[in-house]
Amino acid sequence: MDKVLVFDVWGDYAHFRRFYTTTSPLSFPIPPRTALCGLIGAIIGLEKEDNDYLNYFSTESAHIGLKLVNPIKKTIVAENLIDTKTARGLGMNLITNRTQIRFEFLKDQKYRLYFHSPDEGNIIYKELKQNLTHHKTVYTPCLGLSENIANFKFVGEFEINILPCKDDYISIDTVLPLLKTSKKEGIMFESEGEYFSIRMPIELNTERIVTKYGDIIFDRNSRPIKAKLIETYRNIKYPDGRRENIVFIE
């Protein structure tokens, strides 16, 4: 039976920059899969400058799921940026030219991450499990930007049941790729839900070029989404009897 590593990550602020914004950086409302790969890479110590590490995080070899634990909140923070090129060689106290930019940040975010590999000998899985168990990281984990330092807690390693898709609606606890839902009546939109869909980068090659995009749907208040799926999904049973239905971002 397959197993999955489950851990929670949270921080005071998060910013996952939308690459098509310029003067006023906006954030994706949820972390893209590419950012989650970077977070896992920081925990186990993969060199960011060595883009070969991205080979470990293809959608075939690394399955990653994301659950929103806290509702999505946003705030605007004005930051003073300095021109590091013209300021080279000067002390920080001597820099007078600054440009104030308004950044969009996510506030008080908490996520539950699920990591699974179909390869039983996957070195990333083994190292991630070891570091999570001992609450150890090689590099400082952050939520998008280096100043947005994150904390984490290992929930555990659990067996997952692979279940076939059904004609009926299934309550999914994770964010959901739309391509895995039925094109006709794929989502049950409930009156109390606040649903959002956004196109996000899914996978990078070793030249850091996005090779795959996907449309992701989620509830802003971290509620489960009821959907008719066209692919298999996973079920996790925790020791206390709770269950979660998860779908990986692919």
Going from N- to C-terminal start, the domains of the chain cover 3-246
* Predicted confidence (pLDDT) per residue in 167-202, tens digit: 899 999 999 999 999 887 889 999 899 999 999 999
| pLDDT score for 86 | 64
Q: What sign does the CA torsion over 75, 77, 83, 85 have?
A: negative
* Predicted confidence (pLDDT) per residue in 49-92, tens digit: 666 677 788 888 899 999 999 999 999 988 877 776 666 666 66
Rounded Cα distance between 110 and 30, Å, is: 10
- Half-sphere CA count of 53, side-chain side, radius 13 A: 16
Please state, in angstroms and as integers, the Cα–Cα distance from residue 180 to each residue in 34, 37, 55, 183, 192, following that order: 19, 21, 24, 9, 23
Neighbours of 28 (CB within 10 A): 21
Q: For residues 24-39, give the mean pLDDT.
A: 93
* Domain 3-246, CATH class in plain words: alpha beta
The answer to whether the CB of 214 falls within 8 A of the CB of 188 is no
Please state, in angstroms and as integers, the Cα–Cα distance from residue 35 to each residue in 51, 113, 199, 237, following that order: 14, 12, 14, 27
Mean pLDDT, rounded, of the chain: 90
Model pTM score: 0.91
Rounded Cα distance between 58 and 177, Å, is: 16
* Predicted confidence (pLDDT) per residue in 198-215, tens digit: 999 999 887 888 889 999
